[in-house]
Structure 1
Amino acid sequence: MTKPYPTDFDIVWCAKDKKDAVAVFLTAGQGPFPEEIADTDWVALESNLLSLPITTEARLIVTVPRPEGYAEFAIRGLYVYDWRDAHRSHAEESSLYECVAVPTIPIGSSAVREKLPYLENVSFEDSLNLPPDIFGPSK
């Protein structure tokens, strides 16, 4: 049974691209995510990601008051995307995950396969596209 959408809870999910780079997506309690991962233990997933070794430096793409959350993922080799519409007026919404931080040296999916077994089934085409089957209020 699929859990209800975790409204107002900023969950983290991951996907890989065609080049095998791994990205973290932050929902801000509103962004969609693939149905395949709806039953994921979100707290454990975030803990698993933050337990990855620090392997690189982070480059922030946006200016925000508290960038540490983005940088914590990027220094582990993960690209970071955020559902920034949660902080915008309806007229300013992009309806897209936006890249907010990048690693200097990205990791491939083999580095996280043990911590993210579902990753083989979840991918994204490029920085602006989502997987075709998404779950959530922005669907």
Structure 2
Amino acid sequence: MIGYPDEIDCIWVGSDSNGFVAAFVTAGFGCIPWGALKDAVLPIENIELSLAELPSISDANLLISYPRPDDFIALAQKGLFVYDWPDVHRVERDYTRKYEKVAAPTNPVLMQKLPPLLRASAAGIKFNLLFSQENFVRVEDHFQPWEIEAPSL
């Protein structure tokens, strides 16, 4: 997939300074590093299915109340930190333009433990932070403007 998947809720993955992995749920509007869209080893439209095939290895802590949190909990049970794009539910004046951590694993997975294609995808999107310590991630703070895709508004 080239270009932003407008209004399509998709998931991309990234890794932190210690090699732990997070899943970022775009809600069809969250910023996506260009590397997750272009020249990705695992196309963004295949990430969610690949994550679903991972075994559950952890308990999950739900950090934000959701009417239907099952998908977030399932991802955290696979050892992933889970971030969602909450601005989709807000009026523009209340936008944070940040992903918010909604679930965390008690036993986080290192990217080296992932299957090769997921590992390569997570390694290609490297954040200089620790997911265990960051409740909010602003993609623009970690990549150059030309390295980010956002929905056309």
Q: What RMSD, in angstroms, separates the aligned Cα atoms of the two structures?
A: 1.8
Could you tell me how far apart the structure 2 residues matched to 1:11 and 1:65 are?
A: 19
Could you tell me how far apart the structure 1 residues matched to 2:55 and 2:98 are?
A: 29
Moved over 3 A (4+): none
Counterpart of 1:99 in structure 2 is 101
Could you tell me how far apart the structure 1 residues matched to 2:78 and 2:15 are?
A: 15
User: 1:22, 1:78 within 8 Å by CA — same for their partners in 2?
Assistant: yes
Could you tell me how far apart the structure 2 residues matched to 1:94 and 1:74 are?
A: 23
Q: How many residue pairs were aligned?
A: 138
Alignment of 1:1-139 (within 5 A): 3-39=2-38, 41-116=43-118, 117-126=120-129, 127=134, 128-130=137-139, 131-132=142-143, 133-137=147-151
Q: After superposing the two structures, state which structure 1 stretch, 38-47 or 50-59, moved more.
A: 38-47
User: 2:36, 2:43 within 8 Å by CA — same for their partners in 1?
Assistant: no
User: 1:25, 1:97 within 8 Å by CA — same for their partners in 2?
Assistant: yes
User: 1:77, 1:105 within 8 Å by CA — same for their partners in 2?
Assistant: yes
Task: Give per-residue Cα distances to partners, 1:53-85, cap 9 Å, x unaligned.
Answer: 100111001001000010110000000000110
Could you tell me how far apart the structure 2 residues matched to 1:72 and 1:38 are?
A: 24
% identity of equivalent residues:
32
For residue 115 of structure 1, give the secondary structure of its aligned residue in structure 2: helix
Query: Of Structure 1 and Structure 2, which has the larger fraction of its residues in helix?
Result: 2
CA offset at residue 113 of structure 1? 4.7
CA offset at residue 99 of structure 1? 0.3
CA offset at residue 115 of structure 1? 3.2
User: 1:78, 1:103 within 8 Å by CA — same for their partners in 2?
Assistant: yes
Task: Give per-residue Cα distances to partners, 1:85-122, cap 9 Å, x unaligned.
Answer: 00111121111000000001100010115132232221
Give me the TM-score of the superposition, normalised by structure 1. Answer: 0.91
Could you tell me how far apart the structure 2 residues matched to 1:125 and 1:53 are?
A: 27
User: 1:113, 1:119 within 8 Å by CA — same for their partners in 2?
Assistant: no
User: 2:3, 2:149 within 8 Å by CA — same for their partners in 1?
Assistant: no
Could you tell me how far apart the structure 2 residues matched to 1:119 and 1:84 are?
A: 22
